[in-house]
C-alpha cells in the first residue's frame, strides 16, 4: 500500500491571531497526519479482497485489478471457478449482474454500453472445485470435499465518462511548493497537555485563499487526501489493530464517501457513499435501528416508498451454489422471493390474513387457524370453510394426491360437530374396513378384492334412477341362460379361497350384451337374468299346466265313458 505522495520537509503555520499553544498543536497534528503514513489507494478504487474461512481449510486466492480507458480487468492468483460481476451506478438507477468467462475477467465500457456515472463493482470468484459442495436437507454445511479451496470477492469503484473509464491520476497537493520554501522545523513536539480555546485547521490547504472562516467548525481537515489514523503502538497479546477514518478516494474519478478502514487488515468494512438520503441509518435513544427512517418503532425498522425488502445472498466463494432470496412486503403481500428460479414468490401472506393463519407450536405441531394445534397438522375454521382442496391442474398425476403412512394400521376418524360418535376407516395389511362407534366392522374390502358386508347389501334400482326402460322377451333370455356354461372355480388373487360357482363374465356379455365390460358382472344383472329365466320358466310351466289340465279333463271324460260302457253290458 502506498502512502501520501508528498514527503513533508517543513511545516508552515500561518498565524491567525491564535495562541502559541494552538500553533504548536497545529504543527504537531500536521506532522502526525502527513508523516504518520496515512494510507492511500495505489489503484483507481478502494478494493477489498476477502474470502470467508470459518471452519474450512483454505487455499489463498487474491485478485489484482488493472484499469485502462477502455477495459477493467482482473487477474486471479490461482485457478478458480465461475466468475460473476455486479455493477451498481451511484445513483442506484442502473444495476446489472453478469457472468464473466473464467479465462477472461474483463469488462469493456463500450461493449457493455455503460452509461456515464460512477460505478461500484463486486467481483465474485467461485473456487475451482472438482465436486461442488452440497448441503443435506437437514444439515447446515455438509461438504463434498474434505479441504475445499476458497473463492474470493473484490469490490471497488470506477467512473465512466463519454463511454470510457476515467484513468486514476493523483493530483498534487497545494502544500508541495510551500513545504519546499518555508524554513520551519520538520516536527513540533509538545510534551505537555495542549488546550486550544479556538478553532483549528489541519492540512496543506489551510489558510489558502485568504484565511479560514470556521463558522461552527471546531476542527477542520483541509486538503486533497483526508485521513485520520488511529496508530496502535501496543504489541500482542494487547490489541494491535490500526484504524483510520477516510473521506473520499485519493485518485481522480474515485468514489465520494466517508468510511472506516481496518488499516492492519487492508479492509474497508464501512462506507457511507455520497448522496445517501437523509436518515439512511439512524439509531435512536432506545437503541432501535432505523433504515431510511428517523423514528424506528422496533429494534430494526426499514422504510421505503415501495416494497421494503431484505436480500439474503449467498455467493459461491466457498463452493456452495450461489443463491439469492428476498424477504419483502408491500400493500399486496408479504413474500419470500427466489431470484435464482425466475423470481418465484414461494411464500406469500396477504394483508388481512386472520390470527394464527400459520402457527407452529413448540412441539412442532402446525396450526392453520389455531394458536393451539393438537396434532401435527391442525386445521380450524369458524366460518364453515375448513375444507381442504387438492388440485392438479396441468400434467396428470400418476401417483397418489394424498398418502397416509403409519407404522401400523392407518386410521381415519369421522366425527360430526362435538359428538363423540364417530366412524373410522382403517387400512390394514389385509383389508380396508369401515367401522361404527362400537368398533364393529360394517364393511370390509379384502386384499383379494372380496367385499364383506355383515349386513344387507342394497343396490339402487328405483324406476326414478333409470331410463330407456323397455320390456324384454323372457323366453329369449331363458334360451341365452340355458346356453351359458357354468363352472366351478377359484380366484387367482387368492389361491386358497373357497370354490365358487357361476358363469364367466365373457360368456354372459357375449350372450346378453349386459354390462360395460366383458370382464365384469353386476350382481343385479345376474339376479335379473335369473328372474327373467324364472319368469320364462313360469310361463312355460303355466302353458304346460294348462295343457295338463286339458288332458286331465279329457282323460277323466274318457274314463267316465269307458266306465259307463262297462256297466251297461249284460
C-alpha cell at 225: 487526501
Rounded Cα gap, residues 484 and 516, in angstroms: 19
C-alpha cell at 54: 470459518
Q: Are residues 160 and 174 in the same domain?
A: no
Per the CB < 8 A criterion, the answer to whether 149 and 58 are in contact is: yes
DSSP 383: S
CA angle 247, 253, 258 (to 5 degrees): 15
How many helices (H) and strands (E) would you count in the chain?
5, 34
CATH of the domain at 102: 2.60.40.10
**Does any domain span residue 542?**
yes
**Does any domain span residue 305?**
no
Domain end marker among 276, 296, 321: 276
**Does any domain span residue 72?**
yes
Main-chain phi, psi angles of 272, to 5 degrees: -110, 105
**Does any domain span residue 224?**
yes
Per the CB < 8 A criterion, the answer to whether 99 and 84 are in contact is: yes
Rounded Cα gap, residues 94 and 113, in angstroms: 12
Q: Are residues 474 and 516 in the same domain?
A: yes
Q: What's the pLDDT score for residue 428?
A: 94
Q: Are residues 325 and 356 in the same domain?
A: yes
Q: What's the pLDDT score for residue 92?
A: 72
Q: Are residues 342 and 486 in the same domain?
A: no
Q: Are residues 450 and 479 in the same domain?
A: no
Q: Are residues 103 and 190 in the same domain?
A: no
| pTM summary value | 0.63
Q: Are residues 492 and 514 in the same domain?
A: yes
Question: 303-306 long-range CB contacts below 8 Å, 24 or more apart?
Answer: 306/330
Task: Give the position of cell 466457498.
Answer: 318
**Does any domain span residue 404?**
no
Q: What's the pLDDT score for residue 27?
A: 41
- Residue 347 structural domain: 310-379
Q: What's the pLDDT score for residue 170?
A: 54
Domain count, the chain: 5
Per the CB < 8 A criterion, the answer to whether 326 and 309 are in contact is: yes
Q: Are residues 113 and 58 in the same domain?
A: yes
Q: What's the pLDDT score for residue 343?
A: 94
DSSP 276: P
DSSP 279-335: TSSEE-TT--EEES-SS--SSEEE--SS--EEEEEE-STTSSPPEEEEEEE-SS-EE
**Does any domain span residue 450?**
yes
**Does any domain span residue 296?**
no
Q: What's the pLDDT score for residue 346?
A: 93
CA distances from 239 to 136, 234, 242, 538 (A): 40, 7, 9, 115
Rounded Cα gap, residues 191 and 6, in angstroms: 27
Q: What's the pLDDT score for residue 86?
A: 86
- The verdict on whether omega for the bond into residue 237 sits within 30 degrees of 0, i.e. cis, is yes
Q: Cβ of 154: how many Cβ atoms within 10 Å?
A: 22
Per the CB < 8 A criterion, the answer to whether 64 and 49 are in contact is: no
Q: Are residues 214 and 314 in the same domain?
A: no
Q: Are residues 181 and 210 in the same domain?
A: yes
Q: Are residues 156 and 203 in the same domain?
A: no
Q: What's the pLDDT score for residue 148?
A: 57
**Does any domain span residue 388?**
no
Rounded Cα gap, residues 254 and 86, in angstroms: 18
Q: Are residues 217 and 152 in the same domain?
A: no
Tens-binned pLDDT, residue by residue, of the chain (570 aa) = 333 333 222 233 333 333 343 334 344 333 333 333 333 333 334 444 444 333 333 457 888 888 899 999 999 988 888 899 988 888 777 778 889 998 889 999 888 888 888 888 889 898 887 555 666 555 555 444 445 567 888 888 888 999 899 887 655 544 443 443 444 446 788 899 999 999 999 998 998 767 889 999 999 999 989 999 999 999 999 899 999 999 998 888 888 999 999 999 878 889 898 988 888 999 998 899 999 998 899 999 999 989 999 999 999 888 889 999 999 999 999 999 999 999 999 999 999 999 999 999 999 999 999 999 999 999 998 888 888 888 888 888 888 889 999 999 999 999 887 777 889 999 999 899 999 988 899 999 988 888 899 888 888 889 999 898 888 888 888 888 888 899 998 888 776 778 888 889 898 888 888 888 888 888 888 888 889 899 999 999 999 999 999 999 999 989 888 887 777 666
Q: What's the pLDDT score for residue 137?
A: 56
Amino acid at each position: 500500500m502506498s502512502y501520501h505522495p508528498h514527503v513533508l520537509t517543513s511545516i508552515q503555520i500561518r498565524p491567525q491571531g491564535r495562541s502559541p499553544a494552538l500553533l504548536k498543536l497545529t504543527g504537531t497534528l500536521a506532522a502526525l497526519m502527513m508523516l504518520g503514513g496515512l494510507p492511500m489507494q495505489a489503484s483507481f478504487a478502494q478494493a477489498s479482497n476477502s474470502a470467508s474461512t470459518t471452519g474450512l481449510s483454505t487455499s489463498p486466492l487474491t485478485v489484482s485489478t488493472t484499469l485502462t480507458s477502455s477495459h477493467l480487468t482482473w487477474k486471479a492468483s490461482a485457478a478458480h471457478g465461475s466468475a460473476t460481476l455486479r455493477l451498481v451506478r451511484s445513483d442506484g438507477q442502473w444495476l446489472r449482474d453478469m457472468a464473466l468467462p473464467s479465462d477472461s475477467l474483463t469488462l469493456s465500457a463500450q461493449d457493455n454500453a455503460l452509461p456515464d456515472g460512477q460505478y461500484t463493482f463486486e467481483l465474485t470468484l467461485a473456487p475451482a472445485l472438482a465436486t461442488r459442495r452440497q448441503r443435506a436437507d437437514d444439515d447446515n454445511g455438509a461438504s463434498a470435499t474434505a479441504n475445499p479451496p476458497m473463492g474470493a470477492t473484490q469490490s471497488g469503484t470506477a467512473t465512466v465518462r463519454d463511454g470510457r473509464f476515467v484513468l486514476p491520476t493523483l493530483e498534487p497537493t497545494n502544500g508541495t511548493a510551500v513545504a519546499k520554501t518555508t524554513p520551519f522545523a520538520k516536527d513540533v513536539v509538545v510534551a505537555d497537555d495542549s488546550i486550544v480555546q479556538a478553532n483549528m485547521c489541519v492540512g496543506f490547504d489551510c489558510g489558502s485563499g485568504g484565511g479560514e472562516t470556521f463558522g461552527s467548525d471546531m476542527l477542520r481537515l483541509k486538503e486533497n487526501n483526508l485521513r485520520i489514523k488511529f496508530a496502535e503502538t501496543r504489541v500482542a497479546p494487547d490489541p494491535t489493530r490500526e484504524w483510520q477514518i477516510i473521506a473520499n478516494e485519493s485518485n481522480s474519478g474515485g468514489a465520494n464517501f466517508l468510511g472506516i478502514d481496518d488499516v492492519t487488515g487492508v479492509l474497508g468494512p464501512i462506507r457511507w457513499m455520497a448522496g445517501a438520503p437523509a436518515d439512511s441509518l439512524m439509531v435512536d435513544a432506545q437503541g432501535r435501528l432505523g433504515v431510511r427512517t428517523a423514528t424506528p418503532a422496533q429494534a430494526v425498522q426499514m422504510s421505503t416508498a415501495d416494497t421494503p425488502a431484505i436480500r439474503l445472498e449467498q455467493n459461491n466463494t466457498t463452493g456452495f451454489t450461489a443463491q439469492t432470496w428476498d424477504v419483502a412486503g408491500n400493500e399486496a403481500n408479504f413474500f419470500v422471493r427466489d431470484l435464482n428460479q425466475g423470481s418465484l414468490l414461494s411464500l406469500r401472506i396477504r394483508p388481512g390474513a386472520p390470527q394464527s393463519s400459520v402457527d407452529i407450536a413448540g412441539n412442532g405441531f402446525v396450526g392453520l387457524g389455531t394458536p393451539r394445534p393438537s396434532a401435527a397438522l391442525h386445521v380450524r375454521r369458524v366460518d364453515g370453510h375448513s375444507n381442504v382442496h387438492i388440485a392438479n391442474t396441468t400434467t396428470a398425476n400418476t401417483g397418489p394426491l394424498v398418502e397416509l403412512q403409519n407404522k401400523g394400521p392407518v386410521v381415519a376418524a369421522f366425527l360430526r360437530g362435538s359428538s363423540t360418535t364417530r366412524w373410522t376407516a382403517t387400512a390394514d395389511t389385509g383389508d380396508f374396513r369401515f367401522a361404527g362407534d362400537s368398533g364393529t366392522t360394517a364393511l370390509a374390502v379384502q386384499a383379494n378384492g372380496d367385499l364383506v358386508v355383515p349386513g344387507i347389501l342394497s343396490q339402487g334400482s328405483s324406476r326414478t334412477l333409470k331410463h330407456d326402460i323397455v320390456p324384454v322377451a323372457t323366453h329369449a333370455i331363458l334360451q341365452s341362460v340355458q346356453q351359458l356354461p357354468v363352472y366351478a372355480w377359484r380366484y387367482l388373487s387368492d389361491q386358497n379361497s373357497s370354490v365358487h360357482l357361476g358363469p364367466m363374465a365373457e360368456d354372459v356379455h357375449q350372450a346378453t350384451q349386459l354390462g360395460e365390460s366383458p370382464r365384469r358382472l353386476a350382481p343385479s344383472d345376474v339376479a335379473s337374468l335369473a328372474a327373467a329365466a324364472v319368469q320364462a320358466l313360469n310361463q312355460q310351466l303355466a302353458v304346460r299346466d294348462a295343457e295338463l289340465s286339458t288332458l286331465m279333463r279329457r282323460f277323466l271324460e274318457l274314463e267316465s265313458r269307458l266306465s259307463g260302457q262297462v256297466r251297461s253290458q249284460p
